[in-house]
Structure 1
Protein backbone atom coordinates (compact mmCIF):
# COMPACT_ATOMS: atom_id res chain seq x y z
CA UNK A 1 0.00 0.00 0.00
CA UNK A 2 1.33 3.40 -1.00
CA UNK A 3 1.81 6.01 1.74
CA UNK A 4 -0.27 9.15 1.15
CA UNK A 5 0.94 12.40 2.70
CA UNK A 6 -1.26 14.84 4.62
CA UNK A 7 -0.77 17.27 1.74
CA UNK A 8 -2.15 14.76 -0.78
CA UNK A 9 -5.08 13.62 1.37
CA UNK A 10 -5.97 17.07 2.73
CA UNK A 11 -6.84 15.34 6.02
CA UNK A 12 -5.11 18.22 7.83
CA UNK A 13 -8.12 20.49 7.19
CA UNK A 14 -10.19 20.89 10.35
CA UNK A 15 -9.65 21.59 14.04
CA UNK A 16 -6.58 20.36 15.91
CA UNK A 17 -6.57 20.60 19.70
CA UNK A 18 -4.19 19.91 22.59
CA UNK A 19 -5.17 17.19 25.04
CA UNK A 20 -6.23 19.78 27.63
CA UNK A 21 -8.22 21.77 25.04
CA UNK A 22 -6.27 24.97 25.73
CA UNK A 23 -4.84 25.39 22.20
CA UNK A 24 -7.05 24.96 19.14
CA UNK A 25 -5.82 25.33 15.56
CA UNK A 26 -8.46 25.52 12.86
CA UNK A 27 -6.83 24.79 9.51
CA UNK A 28 -9.13 26.14 6.83
CA UNK A 29 -9.30 24.90 3.22
CA UNK A 30 -8.13 28.30 1.91
CA UNK A 31 -4.69 27.89 3.57
CA UNK A 32 -5.59 30.21 6.44
CA UNK A 33 -5.60 29.24 10.10
CA UNK A 34 -7.20 30.57 13.24
CA UNK A 35 -5.69 29.72 16.62
CA UNK A 36 -7.61 29.97 19.87
CA UNK A 37 -5.87 29.93 23.27
CA UNK A 38 -7.97 29.23 26.31
CA UNK A 39 -10.98 31.53 26.20
CA UNK A 40 -9.36 33.85 23.65
CA UNK A 41 -10.76 33.14 20.21
CA UNK A 42 -8.76 34.40 17.25
CA UNK A 43 -5.58 34.69 19.34
CA UNK A 44 -3.50 34.22 16.19
CA UNK A 45 -4.44 34.12 12.54
CA UNK A 46 -2.40 33.69 9.42
CA UNK A 47 -1.44 31.53 6.48
CA UNK A 48 -0.16 27.97 6.38
CA UNK A 49 1.30 25.67 3.77
CA UNK A 50 1.45 21.88 3.94
CA UNK A 51 4.27 20.12 2.06
CA UNK A 52 4.14 16.35 2.42
CA UNK A 53 3.65 15.92 6.18
CA UNK A 54 5.26 19.26 7.12
CA UNK A 55 3.33 22.44 7.91
CA UNK A 56 4.70 26.00 7.84
CA UNK A 57 2.78 28.78 9.58
CA UNK A 58 3.10 32.54 9.13
CA UNK A 59 0.80 34.63 11.28
CA UNK A 60 -0.50 38.02 10.24
CA UNK A 61 2.18 39.78 12.36
CA UNK A 62 4.97 37.97 10.47
CA UNK A 63 5.79 35.35 13.13
CA UNK A 64 6.72 31.99 11.59
CA UNK A 65 6.56 28.45 12.99
CA UNK A 66 6.32 24.93 11.69
CA UNK A 67 5.22 21.42 12.58
CA UNK A 68 4.95 17.82 11.46
CA UNK A 69 2.05 15.45 11.04
CA UNK A 70 2.90 11.92 12.24
CA UNK A 71 0.37 9.13 12.76
CA UNK A 72 -2.56 11.56 12.65
CA UNK A 73 -0.99 13.80 15.31
CA UNK A 74 0.28 17.36 14.75
CA UNK A 75 3.55 18.18 16.52
CA UNK A 76 3.95 21.96 16.60
CA UNK A 77 6.21 24.20 18.72
CA UNK A 78 6.51 21.67 21.55
CA UNK A 79 2.77 21.00 21.51
CA UNK A 80 0.91 17.83 20.56
CA UNK A 81 -2.42 18.40 18.84
CA UNK A 82 -5.06 15.86 17.90
CA UNK A 83 -7.64 16.23 15.18
CA UNK A 84 -11.10 16.87 16.52
CA UNK A 85 -13.64 14.49 15.06
Structure 2
Protein backbone atom coordinates (compact mmCIF):
# COMPACT_ATOMS: atom_id res chain seq x y z
CA UNK A 1 0.00 0.00 0.00
CA UNK A 2 2.85 2.40 0.88
CA UNK A 3 4.59 1.70 -2.44
CA UNK A 4 1.35 2.36 -4.30
CA UNK A 5 0.80 5.66 -2.44
CA UNK A 6 4.37 6.67 -3.27
CA UNK A 7 3.73 5.96 -6.95
CA UNK A 8 0.53 8.01 -6.92
CA UNK A 9 2.32 10.93 -5.24
CA UNK A 10 5.19 10.70 -7.77
CA UNK A 11 2.77 10.73 -10.70
CA UNK A 12 0.89 13.71 -9.21
CA UNK A 13 4.15 15.66 -8.79
CA UNK A 14 5.20 14.87 -12.37
CA UNK A 15 1.81 15.95 -13.72
CA UNK A 16 1.84 19.18 -11.72
CA UNK A 17 5.36 19.97 -12.95
CA UNK A 18 4.39 19.22 -16.54
CA UNK A 19 1.30 21.39 -16.32
CA UNK A 20 3.30 24.23 -14.79
CA UNK A 21 5.80 23.99 -17.65
CA UNK A 22 2.96 24.05 -20.19
CA UNK A 23 1.44 27.12 -18.55
CA UNK A 24 4.53 29.14 -19.44
CA UNK A 25 3.51 29.16 -23.11
CA UNK A 26 5.55 28.92 -26.28
CA UNK A 27 9.33 29.20 -26.26
CA UNK A 28 10.09 32.92 -26.70
CA UNK A 29 13.37 31.98 -28.40
CA UNK A 30 11.76 29.99 -31.18
CA UNK A 31 12.50 31.29 -34.70
CA UNK A 32 9.72 33.04 -36.54
CA UNK A 33 7.81 31.11 -39.17
CA UNK A 34 8.81 31.96 -42.76
CA UNK A 35 5.65 34.01 -43.40
CA UNK A 36 6.35 36.12 -40.29
CA UNK A 37 9.73 37.31 -41.59
CA UNK A 38 9.84 41.08 -41.36
CA UNK A 39 6.59 41.18 -39.41
CA UNK A 40 6.10 42.53 -35.92
CA UNK A 41 5.83 39.90 -33.15
CA UNK A 42 2.44 38.23 -32.73
CA UNK A 43 0.10 39.86 -30.23
CA UNK A 44 0.68 37.02 -27.79
CA UNK A 45 4.44 37.69 -27.73
CA UNK A 46 3.94 41.17 -26.31
CA UNK A 47 0.88 40.38 -24.25
CA UNK A 48 0.60 39.72 -20.54
CA UNK A 49 1.95 36.26 -19.64
CA UNK A 50 -0.35 33.79 -17.92
CA UNK A 51 -0.56 33.82 -14.13
CA UNK A 52 1.81 31.57 -12.20
CA UNK A 53 0.91 27.94 -11.73
CA UNK A 54 0.22 28.61 -8.04
CA UNK A 55 -2.44 31.24 -8.76
CA UNK A 56 -6.05 30.34 -9.35
CA UNK A 57 -6.41 29.95 -13.13
CA UNK A 58 -8.61 32.60 -14.76
CA UNK A 59 -11.95 31.66 -16.17
CA UNK A 60 -11.57 31.90 -19.94
CA UNK A 61 -13.75 34.52 -21.61
CA UNK A 62 -16.91 33.13 -23.10
CA UNK A 63 -17.72 35.98 -25.46
CA UNK A 64 -20.52 38.42 -25.20
CA UNK A 65 -23.92 36.77 -25.55
CA UNK A 66 -26.37 38.38 -27.96
CA UNK A 67 -28.54 41.06 -26.43
CA UNK A 68 -32.19 40.42 -25.73
CA UNK A 69 -33.89 37.18 -24.75
CA UNK A 70 -34.42 34.94 -27.75
CA UNK A 71 -32.45 37.29 -30.02
CA UNK A 72 -30.30 35.05 -32.22
CA UNK A 73 -28.42 37.91 -33.92
CA UNK A 74 -24.65 37.84 -33.38
CA UNK A 75 -22.70 40.52 -31.53
CA UNK A 76 -22.00 43.51 -33.83
CA UNK A 77 -18.23 42.84 -33.76
CA UNK A 78 -18.53 39.21 -34.91
CA UNK A 79 -16.93 38.70 -38.32
CA UNK A 80 -13.62 39.04 -40.13
CA UNK A 81 -11.10 41.74 -39.16
CA UNK A 82 -8.02 42.24 -41.36
CA UNK A 83 -4.91 44.39 -41.50
CA UNK A 84 -4.78 46.86 -44.42
CA UNK A 85 -2.40 44.58 -46.33
CA UNK A 86 -4.51 41.49 -45.55
CA UNK A 87 -1.53 39.63 -44.03
CA UNK A 88 -3.27 39.12 -40.66
CA UNK A 89 -6.89 37.99 -40.65
CA UNK A 90 -8.74 37.55 -37.38
CA UNK A 91 -12.21 36.02 -37.39
CA UNK A 92 -14.33 36.68 -34.31
CA UNK A 93 -16.82 33.83 -34.12
CA UNK A 94 -20.29 34.12 -32.58
CA UNK A 95 -19.45 31.39 -30.03
CA UNK A 96 -16.81 33.56 -28.31
CA UNK A 97 -13.81 32.01 -30.11
CA UNK A 98 -11.39 33.62 -32.54
CA UNK A 99 -9.21 32.21 -35.28
CA UNK A 100 -6.28 34.26 -36.57
CA UNK A 101 -4.42 33.54 -39.80
CA UNK A 102 -1.08 35.09 -40.78
CA UNK A 103 0.01 34.98 -44.38
CA UNK A 104 -0.38 31.41 -45.59
CA UNK A 105 -0.53 30.07 -42.01
CA UNK A 106 -4.19 29.29 -41.24
CA UNK A 107 -5.20 29.16 -37.55
CA UNK A 108 -1.83 30.60 -36.48
CA UNK A 109 -3.46 31.76 -33.23
CA UNK A 110 -6.75 30.61 -31.75
CA UNK A 111 -8.49 31.22 -28.47
CA UNK A 112 -11.45 32.82 -26.79
CA UNK A 113 -12.53 36.42 -26.47
CA UNK A 114 -15.11 38.57 -24.81
CA UNK A 115 -16.33 42.07 -25.57
CA UNK A 116 -17.13 44.63 -22.88
CA UNK A 117 -18.42 47.82 -24.47
CA UNK A 118 -15.81 48.73 -27.10
CA UNK A 119 -13.03 46.72 -25.40
CA UNK A 120 -12.11 43.17 -26.40
CA UNK A 121 -10.17 40.77 -24.18
CA UNK A 122 -8.44 37.74 -25.67
CA UNK A 123 -7.03 34.58 -24.09
CA UNK A 124 -5.23 32.45 -26.64
CA UNK A 125 -5.14 28.68 -26.35
CA UNK A 126 -1.61 28.78 -24.86
CA UNK A 127 -2.84 30.99 -22.00
CA UNK A 128 -1.53 34.38 -23.08
CA UNK A 129 -3.91 37.30 -22.82
CA UNK A 130 -4.21 40.53 -24.77
CA UNK A 131 -6.77 43.22 -25.37
CA UNK A 132 -7.91 45.71 -27.95
CA UNK A 133 -10.31 48.55 -28.58
CA UNK A 134 -12.96 48.95 -31.26
CA UNK A 135 -13.59 52.31 -32.91
CA UNK A 136 -16.41 51.71 -35.35
CA UNK A 137 -15.04 49.47 -38.11
CA UNK A 138 -11.48 49.74 -36.77
CA UNK A 139 -9.91 47.46 -34.14
CA UNK A 140 -6.66 48.43 -32.39
CA UNK A 141 -5.02 45.28 -31.02
CA UNK A 142 -1.45 44.29 -30.15
CA UNK A 143 0.13 47.21 -32.01
CA UNK A 144 -1.82 46.42 -35.16
CA UNK A 145 -4.77 48.14 -36.79
CA UNK A 146 -7.49 45.81 -38.07
CA UNK A 147 -10.45 46.76 -40.23
CA UNK A 148 -13.82 45.08 -40.57
CA UNK A 149 -13.42 43.26 -43.87
CA UNK A 150 -15.23 45.06 -46.70
CA UNK A 151 -16.04 48.19 -44.64
CA UNK A 152 -15.45 51.75 -45.87
CA UNK A 153 -12.59 51.99 -43.35
CA UNK A 154 -11.02 48.86 -44.87
CA UNK A 155 -11.35 50.21 -48.41
CA UNK A 156 -9.81 53.56 -47.37
CA UNK A 157 -6.93 51.79 -45.58
CA UNK A 158 -6.29 49.59 -48.62
CA UNK A 159 -5.81 52.64 -50.82
CA UNK A 160 -3.13 53.96 -48.49
CA UNK A 161 -1.00 50.79 -48.42
Q: TM-score of the superposition, structure 1-length normalised?
A: 0.87
Shift of 1:71: 2.6
Q: How does 1:53-72 map to 2 (within 5 A)?
A: 53-72=118-137
Write 1 or 2 for the structure with the bigger share of strand: 1
Structure 2 spans left out of the alignment, 5+ residues: 1-65, 68-73, 151-161
Structure 1 spans left out of the alignment, 5+ residues: 1-6
Name the CA distance, whole Å, in 2 between partners of 1:72 and 1:11.
10
Cα shift readout 1:22-74 (whole Å, capped 9, x = no counterpart): 11100000000000011100001000000000000000000110000013200
Structure number with greater Rg is: 2
Q: TM-score of the superposition, structure 2-length normalised?
A: 0.47
Kindly indicate whether residue 119 of structure 2 is the aligned counterpart of residue 45 of structure 1.
no
Shift of 1:77: 0.7
Write 1 or 2 for the structure with the bigger share of helix: 2
For these two proteins, the number of residue pairs brought into alignment is 79
1:4 maps to: none
Kindly indicate whether residue 145 of structure 2 is the aligned counterpart of residue 80 of structure 1.
yes
State the superposition RMSD in angstroms. Answer: 1.5
Name the CA distance, whole Å, in 2 between partners of 1:31 and 1:55.
11
Kindly indicate whether residue 103 of structure 2 is the aligned counterpart of residue 35 of structure 1.
no
